[in-house]
Amino acid sequence: MLLTVTFPPFLPPNPNPIEFVLLSCLIYKYNKRLKRQERSLLITSKAIYNINRQETLINLISFFHAPFAIRRKIDIAKLAGLSVSELSTEFVIHVRDEYDYRYSSPDRRDRILAMIARAYYMNVRNKPLAFFFKVRYH
């Protein structure tokens, strides 16, 4: 018996079936205007996803429309380093050839950093991940 699986158009097949979730949590992201925005952060074995909850009328009344949108996917291998504040719960993810992300997590920062480092070393074995500890951000 042959099993055929088809994917609906809104759910494409995963091109890399080895990717698995390491951590998912709510977090605060700061935009370029220094405005704090709540986001979902998803760390997998291959990438970091910044997920935004879309609260529109269509999402509230539609069963098939996803209420979440992936705002950015950062390939783990593109990480250039992590800056960690020693005075607050903030940290910055530095990405090679792209813009950085500034986050804050009052209760899960250390766990998030550990999972990012774990994902990095699962994919990049020949280059250490740089950690920068900052007293304040400029």
Q: Which of 6-10, 80-84, 93-97 shows the lowest mean pLDDT across its residues? A: 6-10
Q: What's the total number of domains in the chain? A: 1
**Cβ neighbours for 64, distance < 8 A, ≥ 6 positions apart:** 10
CATH of the domain at 78: 2.30.29.30
* Residue 65 counted as domain residue: yes
Average pLDDT over residues 113-129: 91
* Residue 7 counted as domain residue: no
* Residue 10 counted as domain residue: no
Half-sphere exposure of 86 (CA within 13 A, CB side): 6
| Structural domain range at position 76 | 21-134
Average pLDDT over residues 111-135: 89
